[in-house]
Amino acid sequence: MKPAQRPLTLAQQIQPPPATGQGSVENGTVRVRQHVNPLARRWSQPLQLPHEWYSQAFQDPSLPLVVDVGVAKGRFLAKLAASDASRNFLGLEIREPLVHQANRAAASAGRGNLFYLACNANVSLAAVLADAPIGALREVYVQFCDPWFKKRHAKRRIVNPPLVEEIFKALKHAAAGGESYKRKVFIQSDVIEVAIEMRSFFDGHGGFQRLGDSNGLECDMEGWLVENPIGVPTEREIAVFNKGGSVYRALYTLKEHGKESAHCE
């Protein structure tokens, strides 16, 4: 006789786990591949989510939205969501088993302002953000999310000009009612080449203003932010810090129309 099927959780209803996942659950711990190639066919199509998924995912869909791209286990976002009930937090991650585990943890903590989606952010960001209420999107974080620091893997990197343009369009759309300065992008990496590349894409886009000394944020000689402005370190950030490594950070707002940029150089 077949065992009785457990009812699907809310997260599973929105995004059912695949029949054959990339990982398996052993002793309650998810075993996952270290890297997933975002160029693989499996991840080449934009995510198709059920209509109304956004209002199912968040208890109060009208709250301002923060999106973290490449969340891995999502613990950083879980801490933020626990400390700030006034905003919704959405994590995007390509390693699917981590997403299902993070959503289970969020549900058992009763966190109505935290949700994770399994997707390739490069092809799905626009589709995902299209479902957020107009004006909701406030901040986008991309933190240590590039395992592809070798030159030959550069085309797998998440931050590229099309992604920067998608982030810009989504924030601009959200700021249509005003308050562009409240729309922010935060990037950080411990790999200097990756950090420089990410920063050059945002600096070169033309729609963003990099914040720094003139905005009361201390920068080093190369213009990297000295402190993490979010105030909560990610898992990778903690690991880098424990090894005594360096982190390269930049914070942007949308450029207000007609304003000169005030780069931190």
The answer to whether residue 36 forms part of the interface with ligand SAM (CB under 6 A) is yes
Question: Nearer to ligand SAM by C-beta: 67 or 136?
Answer: 67
Q: Which of 49, 57, 92, 117 binds ligand SAM (CB under 6 A)?
A: 92
Which position among 68, 146, 190, 203 bears the catalytic label? Answer: 146
Q: Can you say whether the dihedral through the CA atoms of 58, 62, 66, 68 is positive or negative?
A: positive
The answer to whether residue 70 forms part of the interface with ligand SAM (CB under 6 A) is yes
Question: Nearer to ligand SAM by C-beta: 65 or 119?
Answer: 119
The answer to whether residue 144 forms part of the interface with ligand SAM (CB under 6 A) is yes
Three-class SS of the chain:
CCCCCCCCCHHHHHCCCCCCCCCEEECCEEECCCCCCCCCHHHCCCCCCCCCHHHHHCCCCCCCEEEEECCCCCHHHHHHHHHCCCCEEEEEECCHHHHHHHHHHHHHCCCCCEEEEECCHHHHHHHHHCCCCCCCEEEEEEECCCCCCCHHHHHHCCCCHHHHHHHHHHHHHHHHHCCHHHCEEEEEECCHHHHHHHHHHHHHHCCEEEECHHHCCCECCCCCECCCCCCCCCHHHHHHHHCCCCCEEEEEEECCCCCCCCCCC
Shortest Å distance, C-beta 123 to ligand SAM: 8
Shortest Å distance, C-beta 121 to ligand SAM: 4
Question: Nearer to ligand SAM by C-beta: 78 or 94?
Answer: 94
Q: Tell me which residue of 249, 197, 261 sits closest to 224, measured CA to CA.
A: 249
CB closest to ligand SAM, residue no: 70
Q: Within 115-134, which residues bind ligand SAM (CB under 6 A)?
A: 120-122
Measure CA 216 to chain center: 25
The answer to whether residue 38 forms part of the interface with ligand SAM (CB under 6 A) is yes
**Using CB under 6 A as the criterion, what x/- string covers residues 165-204 for binding ligand SAM?**
----------------------------------------
Shortest Å distance, C-beta 116 to ligand SAM: 11
Shortest Å distance, C-beta 68 to ligand SAM: 7
Distant-in-sequence, close-in-space partners of 85: CB < 8 Å, separation ≥ 6: 113
Q: Which amino acid is at 223?
A: G
The answer to whether residue 30 forms part of the interface with ligand SAM (CB under 6 A) is no
Instruction: Give the range of 102-110, 141-149, 211-219, 250-258 binding ligand SAM by CB under 6 A.
Output: 141-149
Strands 137-143, 184-189: pairing is parallel
Question: Nearer to ligand SAM by C-beta: 181 or 241?
Answer: 241
Q: Which of 131, 193, 197, 235 binds ligand SAM (CB under 6 A)?
A: 235
* Residue 203 known to be catalytic: no
Residues in contact with ligand SAM by CB under 6 A are 36, 38, 70-72, 76, 92-95, 120-122, 143-145, 147, 158, 234-237
Which residues are designated catalytic? 146
